[in-house]
Amino acid sequence: MIIEKNTRDSLASRLSAHGYSVCLAMTGTEALEALSQHNITHAVILNAISMRSNGARTCAALKRAAPSYPILIYSDREKPAKADVLLRPGLSTRKLINRVELYSPMDKKHCLQYGDIFLDEEKQRVFTPKGVSHLSTKEIQILKYLIKKKGALVPKEELFTKIWKTSYVGDMNTLYTYINFLRGAIEQDPSDPRYLCTVRGKGYLLNGK
């Protein structure tokens, strides 16, 4: 669903032209009514620029009515607290589609699963109880490798050499950085990881629950 008024930079027109079925609302009130009447499958996008507003009140009302729907706001101002993603003016249609597709429904048949973790490699995203997060190529490679190990301890040297395709393990700071990125994507509290666990001095293991 897209909330926007008539504008030359119409997000609804851009997505419709690429085959998306768009539920269009002109106001926040119309959007709230539409949420109760239609099956919204992806996300709610608020074109705050077209509304000449910061969108904060609309985002808050939407979150109260439908907390499970991600809210993407297209704005040249600060991101409201109740919005999930800020889209800036000048965003290409391809990048807009990529952002929307991140929130398309999960198809478990196309995911690699381990416990609570569902990796959608094709769309470069991961689903956990925290929600859905986009992953970089390296993050996907690391997570996929750990999933296939099914909870077994993976020495950090093994993980580094397999993912970066090198035999040099003298400096693995890059691995540590990507482990932190990955924890940020899948953990409720990255400082106290539940899924991606460190075995001090040895390596990492993935806990599915």
Q: Over the stretch 90-128, which tens digit does the pLDDT of each residue have? A: 999 999 998 888 888 888 889 999 999 999 999 999 999
CB 137 within 8 A of CB 124: yes
With a cut of 70, which residues of the chain have pLDDT below it? none
What pLDDT sits at residue 59? Answer: 96
What pLDDT sits at residue 183? Answer: 97
Question: What tokens were used for 17?
Answer: 């032209």
Q: How far apart, in whole angstroms, are the C-alpha atoms of residue 207 and residue 21?
A: 38
What pLDDT sits at residue 209? Answer: 81
CB 15 within 8 A of CB 100: yes
Question: What tokens were used for 180?
Answer: 């932190």
Tell me the β-bridge partners of 25. 3
pTM as predicted: 0.72
DSSP state of 32: H
What pLDDT sits at residue 105? Answer: 82
Q: Which residues have a Cβ under 8 Å from the Cβ of 140 and sit 6 or more positions away?
A: 119, 121, 124
Name the H helices within 92-172: 93-101, 137-148, 156-164
What pLDDT sits at residue 96? Answer: 92
